[in-house]
Structure 1
């Protein structure tokens, strides 16, 4: 009897969580976020997006917004990653960011998990998008 009641209560909840499409449209950047993105990519030109980048080169991560991460590889190269869906709280930069990846590369589809720095309680789990390289413009323009 109890298992039927639990199942009857669980089904509507499961239906609610599985209905509808996930809104993957990034929120507009705030003025501060827009200034940070402009500063970080200044003098650089976007290249063709890639699915993976070497992990050892991507140690310096900049959290621009809940949707955008920048991976500084060198003074000449920065990769912009627009997450596949928004990651609430990512921009606050107060939680620890843990990347779940397979192998020695960060790839599209790898998971980013936020963990509360004080309590250790896990937060949102998000998925990386493509990596767009931005390189210094050598033409001087």
Structure 2
């Protein structure tokens, strides 16, 4: 069971270009509906770290949930990758993520931070 959890954690690492820690990437998303406490792990397609407090969870089927952490998580916005451990089939607002730092040919653990609720988001119409 432990190797499966590690694989799931590593598979969900946010991988994108570097960003300035604490900066907010612009987006065209607005809140849409009531926040939920958990999302199903098997439904998460990928994650997008927006800054030290914000992670967008892109789900199968196109739905996006934004998680705004209750407190800033040092290094998250710069590294844009994290891991978590859970024995459940869900990721919830009581779970903890850990920032992963690139170090040579491996990854080191950084700050551990609690998640917030998962807010459904919808794209705003583009202005033409």
TM-score by length of 2: 0.68
Match of 2:50 in 1: 64
Match of 2:69 in 1: 83
Match of 2:120 in 1: 133
Moved >6 Å (runs of 4+): none
Deviation at 1:85, TM superposition (A): 1.5
Structure 1: which 5+ runs fail to align? 1-28
Report the count of equivalent residues. 101
Q: Deviations over 1:100-126 (max 9, x none)?
A: 223011100111011222254321000
Structure 2: which 5+ runs fail to align? 1-21
Higher relative contact order (CA 8 A, sep 6+): 2
More strand by proportion, 1 or 2? 2
What does 1:1-141 align with in structure 2 at a 5 Å threshold? 30=23, 33-35=24-26, 38-39=27-28, 41=29, 45-74=31-60, 76-93=62-79, 96-118=81-103, 120-135=107-122
Q: Deviations over 1:8-28 (max 9, x none)?
A: xxxxxxxxxxxxxxxxxxxxx
More helix by proportion, 1 or 2? 1
